[in-house]
Structures are given as structure tokens and as C-alpha cells.
Amino acid sequence: MTFVATVGEILVEILADTPGTGFRHAQPLSGPYPSGAPAIFIDQVGKLGVPCGIVGAVGNDDFGWLNIDRLRSDGVDVSAITVIDGATTGSAFVRYRRSGERDFVYNIKDSASGQLMIDMAGATLLDKTTHFHLTGSSATSESIREAVRVAIETVKAHGGTLSFDPNLRKELLDDSEPRAFFDWVLERTDIFLPSGEEVFLFASARKPETAANELIARGIPLVVIKNGDRGAAAYQEKGTVAMPAYQVEEIDPTGAGDCFCAAFVACHLNGKDLETSLRYANAAGGRQVTARGPMEGTSSLAELDEWISATATTTSA
């Protein structure tokens, strides 16, 4: 039976109500919203009815329980979320500028998420995992990279598959240790899911299609490039399938990539063809950006079906 798992940060997001620069004065805020890229990913998998769970850590505080309650009610196995007494759940304060850029105040490294490790419950979860998903931005410390390594080795040892969304800034790879780690991940990746320019992080070609083919030649069977409001394209040795995005009013783009990856992986594992998987993934990403809050726009299959029939696509892919 399919079981999808991920490892990584679980946070709350607090969102500024007004556009502008930063947090150096008191201002109206909304939240706390459940968040963290891997948490958003797994919430979207759970909402689609695919059995799944997350290995993570929160503090024994309201921000932690808010996340656990949401994930559990959306169908995610929360047994491998460690509740650490005396630690604080991670947080991200986010404010949009008028240009669409974002200012952040983070507490992640020093939060419970920074202490994440694979305990007995985590090992039990990974033993039954048939597909593991890594969000590259989670692997920011050596201890988390070690946990991810163990997770991938465990899942691969019993024939499981791996998807990898880099979600990385290029600067992180200037360091040789993370670069070697992500090369190791890529060697084991079955579905690579970069966004836009991220496809060039691990390829020397300067065009998306040639970069994707270079990665396929390196042994990755399926490369899916997310292109924001231009939709997405899937590349395989036997050809390419591109699908347009949906026409939406973008309210809050945070989490679109995670929802896209979740819907694509869920459909693909359920045996849907590439076109159908991309259609649902574009819908999950598109619907997500219309909601305020990073996990507020995750969708059930019925919601996606209804949304797809009511929403026009853009013309480009």
C-alpha cells in the first residue's frame, strides 16, 4: 500500500495585513497559520486521501498543537511529530511589499524544528513509507541532512521512491558540503520537481528542456518543472508533456510549489498519466495562491474537480 512521508520543519506563519517593508513598527497581523514547506506538502497529500505522515518537531505550545491538530484532521499521520518540552515551535513573520517581494523574520534554526531527529516513531513511519519527498530548503543543517540521509536510505532499502523539490537558493550550493549532499539526493531521485531557474542548479545547459534532458541522461527518470503562472512541464526520455496554469487572482503565493508537488506525486503514485497528474498539480498550485495563509488553500480531490471545471486555463504552458 502507498504511504508518502517527508521530513522537515513545522512552523506557524504570521502574515502582515498591510503591504510594506518589514516589521520595525507595530502593525496589524493575521495568523498564526500552520506552515512549513514540508508540512504544507504533506497536508496537501493527506487532503487528497493518500496515506501519509511527517517526521518533525514542535514545542509543547499552542503553535505546535495548532499544526498537529490541522495535519491530523487533514489525514496526516502525526505520530512522528516529536513534541519537545521546553522548546518553542518555529515561526515565520511574513510581509509582502507592493512589488510582490517578501520580508521575513524567522525563528526556525533555534526552534523545535532545529532539533528534529528520527526517533522510534520516526523509524516506524519510515519503515512503512513507499515514497519519500524532500523539500531541499529543509536540509539547512548537518543534523537535519543526516536525518534526511537516514530517511532516504531506509525508504530506498525497501524499494521505495523519492521525489525532490530543491526549493533552494543558489548561494546555499556554493558550500561544498550541501552541494555534495544534494548531489547524493539527486542520484537517488525518481521525480525531480524544480521551479523555474532551479532546474539549472544541477545542470550545465542554459535552456529548461536541454537541462531536463541532461538530468534524465544522468539517471533521473522524470523531471517536472514548475513555472508559476505559466503552468508546468514534465520531461521523460520518451518525451515532454506541458500543461498551462489556471487563470487566478493571486492573493498569497506561498506554498503553491508544495501543493503542486503534493498533487503531482499523489496522482502519479495512483497511476494517473502525466497529463492528468500535471492538470491536478496546476490546479492544486493555482487554487492555493487564491487563499491567504500558506496551508489555507490545500484542496481535496472533490474541491480540485469542482475548481478545474469552473476555472479557465491560460493559453501558454
Applying CB under 5 A, the residues found at the interface with Mg ion are 167, 195, 257
Q: Based on the shown chain and the rule CB under 6 A, indicate whether residue 43 belongs to the binding site for ligand ATP.
A: no
Q: Does 274 bind ligand ATP (CB under 6 A)?
A: no
Closer residue to ligand ATP in complex, CB, 201/289: 289
Residues 204-243 that bind ligand ATP (CB under 6 A): 226-229, 231-232
Q: Which does 286 bind (CB under 5 to 8 A by kind): ligand ATP, Mg ion, none?
A: ligand ATP
Task: Select 195 or 282, whichever has its Cβ closest to Mg ion.
Answer: 195
Residue placing its CB nearer to Mg ion in the complex, 38 or 56: 38
We find the least distance from the C-beta atom of residue 172 to ligand ATP, in angstroms, to be 14
The HSE-up count of residue 196 (CA atoms within 13 Å, CB side) is 10
Residue 256 found at the interface with ligand ATP (CB under 6 A): yes
Nearest-approach distance from CB 167 to Mg ion, in angstroms:
4
Least separation in angstroms between residue 65's CB and ligand ATP is: 25
**Residues found near ligand ATP in the complex (CB under 6 A):** 167, 195, 226-229, 231-232, 245-246, 248, 250, 253-258, 260, 282, 285-286, 289
